[in-house]
Amino acid sequence: MSMGNPTYTISEFGRKTGITVRTLRFYEEIGLLIPTEQNQTGHRLYGLVELAKLQQIQSLKFIGYSLQEIKELLGKDEDALAKLENSLPMQHQLLTEKRNELNQAIEAVEHVQTLIKEGKPVTWTVLSALLYQMEHEQEQKEWMKENMPRELVEQFFNLPKEQQKAVDMEMLDVLATIKELMKNGVAPNSNEAFQVVIRMTDIMTRNIEDKEALLEQFEKFEVEFVMSEAEFQVPNFFTKEEEVWLDEVGKAMEEQFKQSKFE
């Protein structure tokens, strides 16, 4: 190491900067940080020029640039600041989107923690459905707009966050009831089964002002097409067995309604 212009071996430089030797070798391999001096044994030496370059690399990594992007930005010193200035608006947008995704993920984790603390039946099916719903809410909204009147869609998605969480709590209570009824062998045409479906329907449509209009709209759909598409768009809280049981309950309720019309 020279006192006039200090230079360091890769190990010494790594210790002083807190960067691993492996990382420094990788930076050299990809042409991002190549020491220009060598000692008598042929080993490359790092000096103040490399330190300044490393600080630039670390700074750009901090604000989200990839190593390839950093290499392109720092390729020519005279153009570096101009390139950086031109790229900053896009980088700001990317970081903002990443921040929003992180906030969404944190909110999802906190929501699941609350459900577990409340003793709700959080299975893998429920967990994946909840997380999918929170992650893809906007896509679901756009899909529903293609298949339903816009005003109805807005009512579906107009719930404040805290109210939506309360709805999730209620739906998980319903799910627990369904599991209990099935475990006890309760028949789909029983009053208990009817009541749980009525409660579930009430929870799902509580925010809809004109429920009759909603039912009429569903009747206009080509149901098979919509439901096949819905499997890819709308999260499902129920297992296949629970879906079959609920389908049988729905058919039993429909049959009872038909019979009551002729009595």
pLDDT value of position 56: 92
pLDDT value of position 27: 96
pLDDT value of position 223: 46
pLDDT value of position 62: 94
CB-facing half-sphere around the CA of 183: CA atoms within 13 A: 6
pLDDT value of position 121: 77
Domain covering 10-75: architecture: Orthogonal Bundle (1.10)
Secondary structure string (H, E, C) spanning the chain = CCCCCCCECHHHHHHHHCCCHHHHHHHHHCCCCCCCEECCCCCEEECHHHHHHHHHHHHHHHCCCCHHHHHHHCCCHHHHHHHHHHHHHHHHHHHHHHHHHHHHHHHHHHHHHHHHHCCCCCCHHHHHHHHHHHHCHHHHHHHHHHHCCHHHHHHHCCCCHHHHHHHHHHHHHHHHHHHHHHHCCCCCCCHHHHHHHHHHHHHHHCCCCCHHHHHHHHHHCCHHHHHHHHHHHCCCCCCHHHHHHHHHHHHHHHHHHHHHHCC
Task: Give the whole-number percent of the chain exceeding pLDDT 90.
Answer: 37
Domain extent listing, the chain: 10-75, 137-261
pLDDT value of position 220: 58
Segment-wise mean pLDDT, segments of 10 residues, the chain, 263 residues: 74 95 96 90 91 94 94 78 88 93 88 86 79 76 72 72 82 88 94 92 77 61 47 65 91 85 61
